[in-house]
Structure formats: C-alpha cells, structure tokens
Amino acid sequence: MIYKEFQGKKLSALGMGAMRLPVIDGDDTKVDNDKVKEMVAYAMEKGVNYYDTAWGYHGGNSELAMGEALSAYPRESFYLADKFPGYDLSNMDKVEEIFERQLEKCRVEYFDFYLFHNVCEMNIEQYLDESHGIMDYLWKQKQNGRIKHLGFSVHGSFDVAQRFLAKYGDRMEFCQIQLNYLDLTFQKADAKLEMLKERGIPVWVMEPLRGGRLAELSEEHTAKLKALRPDETVPAWAFRFLQSFPEVVVTLSGMSNFDQLKANIDTFETDAPLDEKEMETISKIAEEMLSVKTLPCTPCHYCTSHCPKGLDIPELLKLYNEHSFTGGGFVAPSAVSTVPKDKQPGECIGSSSCEKVCPQQIKISEALADFAEKLGKK
C-alpha cells in the first residue's frame, strides 16, 4: 500500500468510502454488515487505514455499519472521517446534536477528520452564516481533541469554493473535491486544484471513477489504453491519472463488493503516474466521451443578448450538460435552485431567437425544455 504524509501521519493513498457499501436485496438502507466486516478486515490487513462515512449515506446506516466493523480494531490503527450534513438546510441549527450522535453511531470518542459536507450553491449562504454556530462549535471540538483535522468537501463551482475559503480558509486543513479525467475540465476541477495548491491545502479526491462511469469504457477507448499499458485495467487508469497529481493525498473509492476492493488495493500497491503520452491519450478519451453526451456550448454569450427572457443560457447549458452526462444527480438541481425562478430553464418561451446567432447551431430551446422537464420544473 502506498502511503502519503500528512502532518506527521502516514495515510493510505486509497481510502475506503462508505457511500456504496454492499446492501441486502438491493435496498440502499439495508447495509450487509457481515460483508462490510469482511471488506474492512481485508482492507486493514492490506494496509488501508483511512475510512470515510457520512450522516446521510445509506439512509443513515453507513455510520452504524462502519462503527461496528471498525470497533474490532485498536482505535489508533485507523483514521475515520465523518461530515456535517449541510446539504440538508434543516440541519444547520443542529450541529451539536448531530455531531454527538455521529460519535455514538461510529463508536468513537473523536474523529480524525471532519468535514463541512458538500459545500455548494444551495448551502453556501447558510454555511457562511455565523448565526448557525457551525464553525464555532466544530472549532471548539477541534480544540478539545474531538476533531483532529477540519476540512470541507465541495461539489459546487469554483466561485463557491473560493467564497468558502475566503471566510474559513485559514482553518481548513484539507479539501475533498470531485476529480477524475472527465471532471478535470468538465467540472473545472483543474481550477479548484490550482486554488488549493496556491493556498497550500492538501487535496482529497472523491468520485475517482465518476460513480462507476470510468470503470468500463468503449472497446475503442479500452484498446487505446491497452496499447499503452497491456496489464492495466480500465479502472486502474483512473487511479493512475490521480497518482499524477502530487497534491492528492487520499483517493476515496466507494467499493460495493469484495472484488472491487481487492482490485483497487492491488492498484495502490504501486505508484505509477501517467507519462506525457498517456496523459494526452486519457485526455483525448475524456474529450470524446463528453462530446457524445454534451452540447458543444463554448460560452460565447452571443445568445444571451437575444434572449427575450434574459436567461443566462451558457450557464444553464453547462448545468444541462452536467445533468445529462451524469444521468441525474444533485449537482445541477442544487445549482438551478439558487437561480431566480424567472431565470430558470422552464422560463424559456421557445422564441428560438438565440439559436439564430449560435455559432454551434445548438437547439437551445429544445435543450432548455428538456432540462426543465428533467428537473420537474415545467
């Protein structure tokens, strides 16, 4: 197992994420505790020492499952991360209640790593609102040794991350971002990486396989990768891509079965970052994947001056691309929820005046109508 240094600690470069644990009868709320224990036992044996859970994973049962599985091992033999669930705005005034319950569920007296969960457009104002007392409480827990390291995870835009850091950056010891060879440019992860690097904040990675979409590629793309590294699996390429970024400390992978766990641990037995040719190949594959399922908007903004409703069409199309490529998810709906109601996709009246000036000849009115339907806002 590869290890990375962090403030005098040796963290396994692969962390076990507990968002996609094995379940019973396909019910996401019914975690198969016996299989989780088996997976944790193997992970511990092979040197994985970082485990990540959260309040909302598996309907609240992830923390219970991980707490039970890890209770079999000395507390000093593993690092446990949990998060404050600010993705649900009703939790903003419950930080103490939730934190205490999390310790109970996880059967620990402290968390090694604790995060503001999912900083995004939907909750940034609430996270920055000091009247909720979230930072004050969590900082006090850090001073009392019940939180060893405080950080945040961000699903929102670069601007959202920037705003959060402008207020709390001096207290953030690490940041968890969505990074993979699709999202390096698609979700502007490259800009977030650069900002964190400038601030000296170490990076944790979530969604290295983008929810499994990078675990299998087309025959054509697989052949291109096999020509460069015949013995490397397709999922391993996603991890080798991340090994190419020295600022990445821990890569979290939500493994739902033993075979996935074993394969990922095998990959992290070696550090084999991509060379220049390999990076060019994987970047080209990402471009080709995105071109198939996304609209070719280049934010030229020609359309905006021709929209009778004054919609920010490039921004809406960017969110539409995210929603379409992901096949749903919460990122786009969360962002759209912060847009004034009279500027949301469903407000498009289908005038098509914007399409007459679009250099890419995008059928904008059709895309916005489809987006509104998918969001249930029309």
Query: pLDDT tens for residues 213-261?
Result: 899 899 999 999 999 999 999 999 999 999 999 999 999 999 889 999 9
What domains are there in the chain, each with its CATH number? Answer: 3-282 (3.20.20.100), 304-375 (no CATH)
**In the predicted model, what is the mean pLDDT of residues 67-83?**
98
User: At CB < 8 A and 24+ separation, what contacts does 192-196 make?
Assistant: 192/154, 192/158, 192/161, 193/245, 193/247, 195/158, 195/161, 195/162, 195/165, 196/247
Q: Is the pLDDT of residue 97 over 50?
A: yes
CA distances (Å), 70 to each of 43, 48, 65, 341, in order?
A: 11, 12, 9, 46
Q: Identify the band that residue 378 occupies on the pLDDT scale cut at 50, 70 and 90.
A: very low
Of the candidate ranges 83-87, 108-112, 266-270, the one whose mean pLDDT is the lowest = 83-87
Q: What is the pLDDT of residue 345?
A: 92
For residue 309 the two structure tokens come to 């409703």
Closest CA to 109 of 144, 134, 139: 144
Rounded to whole angstroms, the Cα distance separating 302 from 97 reads 50
pLDDT above 90 covers what percent of the chain? 76
Q: Identify the band that residue 135 occupies on the pLDDT scale cut at 50, 70 and 90.
A: very high
Q: Which of 2-6, 334-338, 351-355, 368-372 has the highest mean pLDDT?
A: 2-6
Q: What is the pLDDT of residue 301?
A: 81
Q: Is the pLDDT of residue 9 over 70?
A: yes
Closest CA to 355 of 366, 344, 371: 366
CA distances (Å), 302 to each of 133, 181, 336, in order?
A: 44, 30, 21
CA distances (Å), 292 to each of 44, 289, 310, 333, 363, in order?
A: 41, 6, 29, 22, 16
Sign of CA dihedral 24, 47, 205, 106: positive
**In the predicted model, what is the mean pLDDT of residues 133-162?**
95
- Residue count of the chain: 378
Q: Identify the band that residue 297 occupies on the pLDDT scale cut at 50, 70 and 90.
A: confident
pTM: 0.82
Q: Is the pLDDT of residue 377 over 60?
A: no
